[in-house]
Amino acid sequence: MSENRTKVLVLNGPNLGRLGTREPEVYGSMTFDDIVAACAVLGEELKMAVDVRQTDSEAELVGWLHEAADERLPVVLNPAAFTHYSYALRDAASQRTAPLIEVHLTNPATREAFRHESVIAGVATGTIAGFGADSYLLALRAIQGLEDV
Ligand code: DQA
């Protein structure tokens, strides 16, 4: 049954594994596991095989983007702080062979100046920011819409 499902990688960068305890006044009380569960529930509804991963390592995140490029997998990517300075991640995202949606829990444009630039945005299909965990769910729906085209 899962063979017919669109596989989607939901990739998360540094410090996102600490959601729930990390600055709850900024990021809310939802844990990373809560986001994994919400993506799984929507994945069932959308008939997608959603694989949610998190790492604090730039190298590991780059490797996952290579995997997505090689397997032509759509990606939902929250690069976390790498958003703002990782040209290595941008170069990996630029090799994408399927849609890549950049997501953020918060709206970086409303925060500190160093968060206003995304080096990923220019190679992403689109960006969804500021909706908390719903940013991920909106991105999965966007990918489904693009796949249907
Ligand atoms: C974030 C925003 C980034 O600026 C920050 O470094 C994060 C989380 C977000 O989801 O709002 O770690 O990507």
pLDDT tens-place string over residues 42-61: 999 999 999 999 999 999 99
104 flagged as catalytic: yes
* pTM for the predicted model, two decimal places: 0.95
* CA-nearest residue, atom 13 of ligand 1: 80
Domain boundaries, the chain: 6-147
The pLDDT of residue 149 is 47
Using the mean position of ligand 1's atoms as its centre, give its distance from the Cα of residue 73 in Å: 23
The pLDDT of residue 148 is 62
In the 3-class helix/strand/coil scheme, how is the chain assigned residue by residue? CHHHCEEEEEEECCCHHHCCCCCHHHHCCCCHHHHHHHHHHHHHHHCEEEEEEECCCHHHHHHHHHHHHHHCCCEEEECHHHHHCCHHHHHHHCCCCCCEEEEECCCHHHCCHHHCCCCCHHHCCEEEECCCCHHHHHHHHHHHHHHHC
Atom of ligand 1 nearest to the CA of 115: 4
> How large is the average pLDDT for residues 135-149?
89
pLDDT above 70: percentage of residues in the chain: 97
Domain 6-147, CATH 3.90.79.10 — does that match?
Answer: no
Using the mean position of ligand 1's atoms as its centre, give its distance from the Cα of residue 134 in Å: 14
* CA-nearest residue, atom 12 of ligand 1: 80
Position 140, amino acid: L
84 flagged as catalytic: no
